[in-house]
Structure 1
Amino acid sequence: MSGNITVVEHPLVQHKLTLLRRKQASTAEFRKLLWEIGLFLGYEAMSDLPLGRVPIETPVSTMEAPVIYGKKLAFISVLRAGDGLLAPMLELAPSARVGQIGLSRNEITLKPEKYYFKTPGNLDQRRTIVLDPMLATGNSAAYAIDEIKKAGARDLKFVCLLAAPAGVETFTKAHPDVPVVTAAIDYSLDDHGYIVPGLGDAGDRLFGTKKA
């Protein structure tokens, strides 16, 4: 962990990430591996959830047992690739509330613009985890967090599969209060804003829309 960035270095995560990065990985393989890695990222992102205690009865005796305390979680997917991380998060916390934010780039200003935004209520009372596989330039991620904060979120984390140093710098300058959980921080960005060595366009690979 460096500053507010946690890199999940578990051997299984790093092994599965290598398999997922490969150019020859099929759409089905990509989806499966992203789901598996997403479980590990989710475990890390939710490792500090508050716990309370409730009385229960086991087959042997009664006890005060720990349970997650407070309002249900909120997961907010940055469309469209963020939906690839949403399924494993819901596997871990099936009662979580779900929101989505859709962003596109203005071709004149080159800045992100919101085209869709729907969030659960009472975000100010929930742990809100924002999902987007790639933290490349960091501009879209920072903008998404801006909008989610305006909707009331106060307790936020950002989960991504890969990050670039430039994206980490941009994001942490804009939102130093929002921890980031990722599987790797790669070397750089290319001239098109792709993470290097990266894995290409996560959305295209997830949904099978990449060019042949």
Structure 2
Amino acid sequence: MSNVYVMDHPLIQHKIGLIRREETGSRDFRALVSEIATLMCYEATRDLKLEDVKIKTPICETTAKQLEGKKLAIIPILRAGIGMVEGMLVLIPAAKVGHIGLYRDPETLEPVEYYCKLPADCDEREVFVVDPMVATGGSSAAAIDLLKAKGVKKIRFLCIIAAPEGVERMQREHPDVDLYIGALDDHLNDHGYIVPGLGDAGDRIFGTK
């Protein structure tokens, strides 16, 4: 089964508390989502492989460390996932960025694909799929299905808030994908929203309703 990592870092938890608040406006919400993504990226890249490299400091030659291969990609699920990209690029600026567009059918709650643009060598990269919310897990699972169909083998998934139902589905359908979660909430309500959650992440990031 996939490994599930729920972040316990105090700064992550503090900032999640801020974005949950109804009174937090779009400007602050966007900034906080980006900051949370940076902190989560730090945790989620802890086990990236390193290799030795010879370098010259102003003093002498020495052996330093660098990322092995250095081929990473960030794939946000549109539209809310865009809010996490810049925060991750702060730490891994050389990463390529692709986009997967999915929306949730309001009747069936199942994902419908409407856009997909990936780096040409995506199948050679370690891919970080990002979306602030995992509710039913439908969109997340569908995005990973799409990536696997295109040959991507190394996938990690980052979300800020998840419902147990979505995590269970991800583990069932993609047991080889590690999940990094900011907060694991209680349940989904009858409308498919995470409780207590924070409402619609996309609307809050972009100021739409």
TM-score normalised by structure 2 residue count: 0.95
Report matched runs for 1:1-212 at 5 Å.
4-106=3-105, 110-210=109-209
CA contact (8 A) 2:80 2:205 kept: yes
Task: Give 1:37 deviation, angstroms.
Answer: 0.8
CA contact (8 A) 1:76 1:99 kept: yes
Task: Give 1:121 deviation, angstroms.
Answer: 1.9
CA contact (8 A) 2:50 2:65 kept: yes
Kindly report structure 1 stretches of 4+ aligned residues shifted beyond 4 Å: 106-110
Rounded Cα–Cα distance in structure 1 between residues aligned with 2:201 and 2:96: 24
Q: How many residues align?
A: 209
CA contact (8 A) 1:71 1:125 kept: no
Specify whether residues 25 and 41 from structure 1 end up closer, same or farther in structure 2 by C-alpha distance, changes over 3 A only. Answer: same
Two-structure CA RMSD over aligned residues (Å): 1.5
Rounded Cα–Cα distance in structure 1 between residues aligned with 2:106 and 2:135: 18
CA contact (8 A) 1:188 1:196 kept: yes
More relative contact order, 1 or 2 (CA 8 Å, 6+ apart) = 2
Specify whether residues 111 and 4 from structure 1 end up closer, same or farther in structure 2 by C-alpha distance, changes over 3 A only. Answer: same
Identical residues among aligned pairs (%) = 51
Rounded Cα–Cα distance in structure 2 between residues aligned with 1:72 and 1:29: 32
Amino acid at match of 1:45: A
Task: Give 1:111 deviation, angstroms.
Answer: 2.6
CA contact (8 A) 1:4 1:179 kept: yes
TM-score normalised by structure 1 residue count: 0.94
